[in-house]
Chain A
Amino acid sequence: MARYLLSVFGPTDPPASGGSSSRSELLQEWADTGAFNDKLQREGHFVFADGLEPASTATTVDGRGERPVFTDGPYLETKEHLGGFWVIEAADLDEALALAAEGSRACRGAVEVRPFNTPESIQALLDS
């Protein structure tokens, strides 16, 4: 089993849920995502998952200097930001990609799949 981070990216400012159609769309999206989470749980892939508040609520902290520096806003100034993520376990990348495709459909966002370090990869890093 390998562990992967599935990150969901979306626009910096989430669409306001003003209209009734967008509200029902949002509810459907959450229902689909919830069902996908249930499936991950059921099939033993689920490690952790959650959604994030908008990137504008982030604070960037740099503690490398003598005194920590706090800056309002996300670390990267981009049009799209991390909106939520899953941590899953899968047999290999093929399985992780298939799950990511399902997750992407459920949450209506593009998903980045990235493997976590393993004890072997950390050892290889030390050896190199």
Chain B
Amino acid sequence: MTDPAVEAAIARVHREEWARVVAALTRRFGDLDIAEEAAAEAFAVAVERWPRDGLPPNPGGWLSTTATRRAIDRIRRESQRMAKHQAALMLHDSTRPDPSGPVEDDRLRLVFTCCHPALSMEARVALTLRLIGGLTVAEIARAFLVQETTMAQRITRAKTKIRAAHIPYRVPSGQDIHERLAGVLAVVYLIFNEGYLASQGKDLLRVDLTEEAIRLGRLLLVLVPEDGEVAGLLALMLLTDARRSARVSATGELVTLQEQDRGAWDRGLIVEGQELVRERVRAVAAGAGPPGRYQLLAAINAVHTVAPSSSDTDWSQVLTLYDRLAALDPSPIVRLNRAVAVAELDGPAVALAQVDRLADGLDAYHALHATRADLLRRLGRSAESRTAYDRAIALAANPAERAYLTRRRDQLRG
């Protein structure tokens, strides 16, 4: 009886409307638990009824109304606590903004609550995926390879802290917003990287998380279009994700940027990402303030994705961008990545000297040893290269990466 078209429509409505329904209910009832549960119930009713009755003319409105009724039912059932929620309801109604002023999207409030710095990073990620992304607890648990009960506990504990510690449901004021927004972007980028780099487990890529992060990035750009770093992060994720299918070989081995089949890159994502980068370059030229970390990383990826081959890459442009990034963030990891561009411009010997200076701080980081191994190989120092590959293989958590490093090591001569 299930019509695939209706199912697809329900999935689409879920993606588009979930955060809006949860956010509106949170504002109205002042309680994340009630909002989440009522929204989930409303979607469950939709899954049951819509295949039979067809989609309502305004699915979002239907869901909001249904969820609101469910929330009120729940509050009535819990008659002992009714007084409290009525008080909360009146309080929240009284804070409703002047309708003639700019309408602040409730979803942005929800984003800032979920990514509040008083919550642990793990809790911020889980809450964001659940309340903004609409993933189920089971899906989030699977993505992070933890037990469902563990993930449920993590989310419950975070919601309890939000309530007990009075973490506010609002967009931070003027001077705090940039710092707080940087925290939100860090959560989204962590979700993306968890999907893209898959630090644990057997899969190199976890597509669900990268796609979810991009979706969150798109939503943030709608909510905060004036912030360059929001556009920068979305561009960075698009340009990185565009290379997804070229990044792992048919035999499950990591393929480096140099060796990737550029024809397999997703042109649509590249065009979209590059356009965002160009918009930022224009905005900066027009006086929008210097680009931040994500805009610079996006620009570096734009340079890579515009080159028809690795050897055609404008490495001096890449190096200039890394210099600007290092000025903002003088971390050894930025300098390690910069050294890769140095190798292309000034040769592997110069780059190796720079990488060796980072060795103490990054000794436990597999990419340091992988980079050293490659530079030593190019310099013909096979024995030292082999030692570095061994170290990189021992430290690499990901099987696809280990397979790649092992092949490169075994190709060494002498």
Contacts and interface: CB of A to CB of B under 8 A. Distances in A.
Interface of A: 2, 91-94, 96-97, 113-115, 118, 120-121, 123-124, 127
Given A120-B84, A127-B80, 15 more contacts: A2-B166, A93-B118, A93-B168, A94-B167, A94-B168, A97-B118, A113-B165, A115-B164, A115-B165, A115-B166, A118-B164, A121-B164, A123-B80, A124-B81, A127-B78
B180 to A, nearest CB: 9
27 contacts: A2-B165, A2-B166, A91-B168, A92-B166, A92-B167, A93-B116, A93-B165, A93-B167, A93-B168, A94-B168, A94-B172, A96-B166, A97-B118, A113-B165, A115-B164, A115-B165, A115-B166, A118-B164, A121-B163, A121-B164, A123-B80, A123-B81, A123-B84, A124-B81, A127-B78, A127-B80, A127-B81
Interface residues of B, number: 14
Contacts of B165: 2, 93, 113-115
B345 to A, nearest CB: 44
Interface string B163-204: 111111000100010000000000000000000000000000
A100 B168 CA distance: 16
A114 B166 CA distance: 10
Contact of A92 (B78, B81, B168): B168
Contacts of B80: 123, 127
A31 B237 CA distance: 50
B355 to A, nearest CB: 37
A113 B118 CA distance: 10
Contacts of A97: 118
A115 B168 CA distance: 13
Contacts of B84: 120, 123
Interface of B: 78, 80-81, 84, 116, 118, 163-168, 172, 176
A42 B166 CA distance: 23
SS class of chain B's interface: helix, strand, loop or mixed?
loop
Contacts of A94: 167-168, 172, 176
SS class of chain A's interface: helix, strand, loop or mixed?
helix
Contacts of B166: 2, 92-93, 96, 115
A90 B185 CA distance: 28
Contacts of A121: 163-164
B78 to A, nearest CB: 7
A97 B78 CA distance: 33
A127 B116 CA distance: 28
Contacts of A92: 166-168
Contacts of B81: 123-124, 127
A103 to B, nearest CB: 16
Contacts of A2: 165-166
**Interface-central residue, B81, B172, B176, by most chain A CB under 10 Å:** B81
A102 to B, nearest CB: 15
Contacts of B118: 93, 97
A126 B78 CA distance: 13
A39 B305 CA distance: 55
Contacts of A96: 166
A94 B78 CA distance: 30
Contacts of A127: 78, 80-81
Nearest to A124: B81
**Interface-central residue, B78, B116, B166, by most chain A CB under 10 Å:** B166
B70 to A, nearest CB: 19
The 7 tightest CB contacts between A and B, nearest first, are: A92-B168, A2-B166, A92-B166, A115-B165, A93-B167, A93-B165, A120-B84
**Interface-central residue, A113, A123, A124, by most chain B CB under 10 Å:** A124
Contacts of B163: 121
B165 to A, nearest CB: 5
A124 B84 CA distance: 10
A46 to B, nearest CB: 18
**Interface-central residue, B116, B118, B165, B168, by most chain A CB under 10 Å:** B165
A74 B124 CA distance: 35
B81 to A, nearest CB: 6
B29 to A, nearest CB: 13
Nearest to B173: A94
Contacts of A93: 116, 118, 165-168
A120 B118 CA distance: 21
Nearest to B164: A115
B158 to A, nearest CB: 13
A114 to B, nearest CB: 8
B275 to A, nearest CB: 36
Nearest to A121: B164
